[in-house]
Amino acid sequence: MDRGFFIDGEWRKIKGSDVFPILNPATGQRIGSTALGTAETIDQAVNVASLAFPKFSKMSANERAEILLKAADNIELAADKMAELLTKEQGKPKADNLKEIIFGAEVLRYYAGEATRIYGSIRPASSPNIRNLVNYHPVGVAGAIVPWNYPIDLYCWKIAPAIAAGCPIIVKSPHETPLAITMLVDCIHQAGMPNGCLADIPGLGPIAGDALARHPKIRILSATASIAAGQSITRASAGNLKKLCLELGGHAPFIVMPDADLKEAAMAAHRRSFSNMGQICITVNRILVHNSCHKEFVSILEELTTNTIVGDGLDKEISYGPVLNSSVSDRVQNQINDAISKGGRLISGGFKPTEKHLINGNFFRPTLIDNTPLDSLPMIEESYGPLAAIASFETENEMLEIANGLEYGLAAYIYGNDLEKVWLLAENLDFGAIGINVNDTSELQAPFGGWKMSGVGRELGPEGLMSYLEPKHLKMKLGNK
């Protein structure tokens, strides 16, 4: 599949566009390519969307909800083929991709309902003949930057509230994994999305992403990216003060209290550390274990990790696939080397497998380092790969100091059977979401986003919709008395 851009209701290939090849990370084979958008491509899409905005913003909430509901149905019908294509370009096992795609459809359905619940209000007034009416209006043309790790799911997180609010949206889709997105775009367009109200332009962040951030007609930009990319977006957006919703990654601690169910905690830590080969913003980076149970917990987790089978995600028996490309494995190897050089102990993984059926792919063994020095790279920088670093703690204050000691603040996890204690500890963790005896912090009806350098704004929940709306106050005088 060799794809172009979706602008004004049609797929286009613009002459002279640079082309990026798409390789299957499990085999190294070329499976397609994508054209790469430029500032001119972005400008073309934004101008079309600006012309479509007045009519789209005046559509009834029920009409926009119907588009979202039909699109969700279309996605579910295409889910199997979409999941297979996504596995070929991104590497996640097909079963995981099916979950991603189905959840994306549920996001569309959720915001179809929220579209009909954009309520106004009458506020108290300082005078008996004054009425204060507050209502909400779509902010304008929206922009979105979608990452390669969960491209379908996070695409839906961004476009669903925009459509519900009445905002046309220009999406810079990931140039690394743009193929399954073509099917998603077709599902939405065929659901009745008006021409010009959705554009899809794969491209490089410093070029297409920067153009979105700088464009004066883009009034809100939602991006899932690294902290460095988020800082660049913020600087580029400053010229026209557009609204920003930035989810900028994390460095999640996984805390094991002395009374935790160690087997349950180890299984949860293993899955959250190595699902999608750790290429998740809420993946477990640091495992902090109380001294009293450190040895037993590590023994269980080491066995799980060593016995993990990796392979081509199209194999139904495989739950752990390749990393996206060599830059991921190179970064992980660099962090491993740094930790070991400072006194850490490698207890599982740490190498590329050499089996014949894996050698051509971007595979890397899930890796554990125990007694990891707190100043080593795995403990201070996001790995975004199959690496979990373990350290122990003695007191709760020591644990909180370690957990809260970085600039990241997206997600954290804490396991323990004394719920009163872990609840209180969770309230002292400086993160946007805390998983208490659960290893996933995302929930459709709850806000998702980070504290500190992990971002600004929120996605999902009612908060996700409000990002695309502006309040308007109407102050009205009744009569002359």
Q: Give the residue numbers annotated as catalytic, written as ranges.
A: 247, 281
CA distances from 202 to 94, 104, 111, 196 (A): 23, 19, 25, 17
Distance CA 142, CA 302 (A): 46
Contact 199, 7 (CB under 8 A): yes
- Lookup: tokens for 148: 């390669």
Find the farthest-apart pair of alpha carbons in the chain and give their distance in angstroms, rounded.
88
How many Cβ atoms are within 10 Å of 45's Cβ, its own excluded?
Answer: 31
Return the closest-CA partner of residue 456 out of 233, 219, 159: 233
d(CA 329, CA 278): 11
DSSP class per residue in 143-200: EEE--SSSHHHHHHHHHHHHHHHT--EEEE-BSSS-HHHHHHHHHHHTTTPPTTSEEE
DSSP 3-state of 359: coil
- Asked whether 169 and 162 are in contact (CB, 8 A), the reply is yes
Backbone phi, psi, residue 131, to 5°: -120, 130
Return d(Cα 270, Cα 413) in angstroms, integer.
13
Q: Is 374 helix (H, G, I), strand (E, B) or coil?
A: coil
Rounded to whole angstroms, what are the CA distances from 385 to 180, 365, 446?
A: 22, 10, 27
The H or E element containing residue 97 is helix 94-115
Please name the residues in contact with 376: beta carbons below 8 A apart, sequence gap of 6 or more: 335, 338, 339, 342, 344, 389
Pairing assessment for the beta strands 121-123 and 130-138 based on DSSP bridges: antiparallel
| C-alpha–C-alpha distance, residues 416 and 224, integer Å | 31
How far apart are alpha carbons 351 and 386 in whole angstroms?
11
Using only the alpha carbons of the chain, give its radius of gyration: 23
**What is the rounded CA–CA span in Å between residue 61 and residue 108?**
14
3-state secondary structure of 447: coil
